[in-house]
Amino acid sequence: MATRSLLHSIRGRLTNGGSNLIRNAESSRFYKPYSADAAIGSSPVEEPDEKDDLKSRIFRLRLPKRSATTVLEKWVGEGNQITVNELRDISRELRRTRRYKHALEVTEYLVQHEESNISDADYASRIDLISKVFGIDAAERYFEGLQLASKTSETYTSLLHAYAASKQTERAEALFKRITESDSLLTFGAITYNEMMTLYMSVGEVEKVTEVIQVMKRKKVSLDIFTYNLWLSSCAATFKIDELKKILEGMRRDGGSDEGWSRYIDLTSIYIDSSRLSNAESSLPVESESESEKAITQREWVTYDFLMILHTGLGNKDMVDQIWKSLRNTNQKLSSRSYICVISSYLMLGHLREAGEVVDQWKESKTTEFDASACLRVLNAFRDVGLEEKASDFHLLLVQKKCSLDNEVS
């Protein structure tokens, strides 16, 4: 896979997985022409050989062509009961493990047997599953076929998410216009607007992110941490540093006392001050270690740094691990800025061992020269935001790693 494609995959997987920009809604109404069995074909069920509950039976269906519907019918035929919440939980877990066809079958059973209990979240989930199993056109037809009462903010957002995930920009823009110009009484929260901004970031139209922000402000929609991350990321990617700092100042004034919110603001400030972003770098590519790989520009790298900052703010250390591992596994030459970002993230989360490992990786790198002055800037940036203890921890870590800062100028 080309590095550029890999990085787009990383952004899509982590932003949608960690932040879950489209809510993990479960099941919804599903018309017979889109029966999940029709996607692959039905076949006999594997006999249970271990734990014998409904979830275990369904998860023993190793191949997509196996039928979850048959398992459900057999379970009931044996005199067992199935609750709505049980079906939703099973569907959610199947979605989490990317077993979309089986998740579709489970929610189809829910619709057929518990129609009076179907929620807006169920309909939204069905749209998402249909798009994954049958494609965007099928998801769109399903949405348009819903009764007016079922065309809610959740189902609109789910279809917008499907468009964004497949980078269908024109369709997404048409639906977004329909949403924002509608005279209906529906209320759309930040999650809907975040979908549109995520799409623009993923297709490189970062300048349009600010346009979405303006729509939100006009409609008095509250911005959440994901909205701010997309907005700040777009500013950093276009190297509008003054605007970025103004946004941060506004976040400090308007934000609450939430620890994640404060951590995000502090880390963004540390990153901006220590990485020394400049307009001159916006079009410069990062060297690739493989001639067959297309080099990634500094502008693109910045967006991934902000993805890491977001997950640090949310306290998702596992996601920070995953992003860093994925970036290191590319054939691209990592910049000092990337090292600064991940070291600062681990320090912010209190994981000194991991921060030390990254320092070692940087010192051992054959392509990116270790920059002690950058480490000193990180140290000073932590002090500037009042995190003296973390600054002291980092200073001690650098001493242990024999990184001399005596002759460095911040």
Q: What is the pLDDT of residues 308-357, one digit of tens each?
A: 999 999 999 999 999 999 988 887 888 889 999 999 999 999 999 999 99
Q: What sign results for the dihedral spanned by CA atoms 100, 101, 103, 104?
A: positive
- Tell me what the pLDDT averaged over the chain comes to: 82
Does residue 37 register a pLDDT over 60? Answer: no
**Over residues 195-222, mean pLDDT:** 94
Q: What is the pLDDT of residues 46-85, one digit of tens each?
A: 444 567 888 899 888 878 888 888 888 898 898 998 889 9
Per the DSSP assignment, residues forming a β-bridge with 288 are 332
The SS3 of residue 156 is helix
Q: Could you give phi then psi for residue 332, rounded to 5 degrees? A: -90, 150
DSSP percent split of the chain into helix, strand, coil, nearest 5: 70, 0, 30
**Residue 69 in tokens:** 């519907």
Calculate what percentage of the chain has a pLDDT beyond 90.
Answer: 55
Nearest residue to 311 (alpha-carbon basis) of 355, 271, 342? 342
Compute the half-sphere exposure of residue 233: CA atoms within 13 Å on the CB side of its CA.
30
Q: How confident is the model at residue 10 (pLDDT cuts 50, 70, 90)?
A: low
Task: Report pLDDT for 295.
Answer: 55
Q: Backbone dihedral region of 221: left (phi > 0), alpha (psi from -120 to 50 degrees) or beta?
A: beta
Q: Which residue has the tokens 């949608």?
A: 16
Q: What is the pLDDT of residues 97-117, one digit of tens each?
A: 999 999 999 988 888 887 778
Q: Which residue has the tokens 């991934």?
A: 304
Compute the half-sphere exposure of residue 259: CA atoms within 13 Å on the CB side of its CA.
5
Cα distances (Å, whole numbers) of residue 218 to 77, 221, 251, 284, 303: 55, 8, 18, 36, 26
Out of 155-169, 255-269, 276-290, least confident range: 276-290
End-to-end CA distance of the chain: 39
Torsion of CA 87, 91, 94, 95, to 10 degrees: -170
- Say which residue, 48 or 401, is predicted with more confidence: 401
- Say which residue, 259 or 106, is predicted with more confidence: 106
The SS3 of residue 168 is coil
DSSP assignment, residue 297? B
What is the rounded distance in angstroms from the CA atom of residue 277 to the CA atom of residue 309?
A: 15
Q: How confident is the model at residue 257 (pLDDT cuts 50, 70, 90)?
A: low
Task: Report pLDDT for 402.
Answer: 87
Cβ-contact 190, 222 below 8 angstroms: yes
Does residue 194 register a pLDDT over 60? Answer: yes
